Amino acid sequence: MPENEDNPRAFISHASDDKERFVVPFAQGLRANGIDAWLDKWEIKPGDSIVDKIFEVGIAKAKIFIVILSKNSIEKKWVKEELDAAIVARVSKQSRIIPIRLDDCPVPEALRATAWINASDKEVSEIVMEVVNVAFGITSKPPIGDPPKQAENAGLKEINGLTALDARILHMVVDQVIESNRGIADLSEIRQQLVNDGFNLRDIED
């Protein structure tokens, strides 16, 4: 997929020890799903300033900062400095930080209040999709359905003693009169419709 401004950039902070076992296949999976995963081995060329590339291009332009936490990475100077830069960006609301924990390493103090992905019991493809869902706002939350019929007009204030049910009956009568062009309404039909919608018959009769 060609890169464009619609592809969110994700900077991946990691230790080189974790690159081949996790980081490279993970980054490849992100790119295959529309995320511009920024990885040093793909972006930094001979003669480039490593500091400028990482901080001025990789992190500065990233919407998502992914930090790979492991026993290999938590003590690395580069990872700490990249995380510091990402926290500054998060405070200024420029990016989101997503920690991915590969093993039972300690979580840095700065990330303990941030929900992380536990990768120890998941396939790389599962983790990729979790990040993709976050990047594109995809949720598993069920959609909200239509409110029950009883709730219609529930927000209306009572007018001259009209309750929500009164208001609904009035609407139904008016609608039926208009639709029939006869100037009358079939009250038995309205009664049955209200019963079908879950209203109490005694309330309807009242």
- Residue 29's pLDDT band, with cuts at 50, 70 and 90, is very high
User: Model-level pTM?
Assistant: 0.65
Beta strands in 2-134 (DSSP E): 9-13, 36-38, 64-69, 96-101, 117-118
Predicted local confidence at residue 160, as pLDDT: 60
Predicted local confidence at residue 116, as pLDDT: 92
Q: pLDDT tens across 61-77, in order?
A: 889 999 999 998 888 88
Q: pLDDT tens across 87-98, in order?
A: 776 655 667 889
In the chain, what are the domain boundaries? Answer: 9-135, 149-205
The partner residues of 36 in beta bridges, in order of sequence, read: 9
Helix axes 24-32, 124-135, angle to 10 degrees: 50
Contact 23, 71 (CB under 8 A): no
pLDDT higher than threshold 80 for residue 16: yes
Mean per-residue pLDDT of the chain: 83
Nearest residue to 66 via CA among 45, 95, 41, 94: 95
Q: Taking residues 21-31, what's their average pLDDT?
A: 96
Beta strands in the chain (DSSP E): 9-13, 36-38, 64-69, 96-101, 117-118
Nearest residue to 128 via CA among 30, 12, 8: 30
Q: Which CATH fold topology does 9-135 show?
A: Rossmann fold (3.40.50)
Here the tokens at position 198 are 């879950």
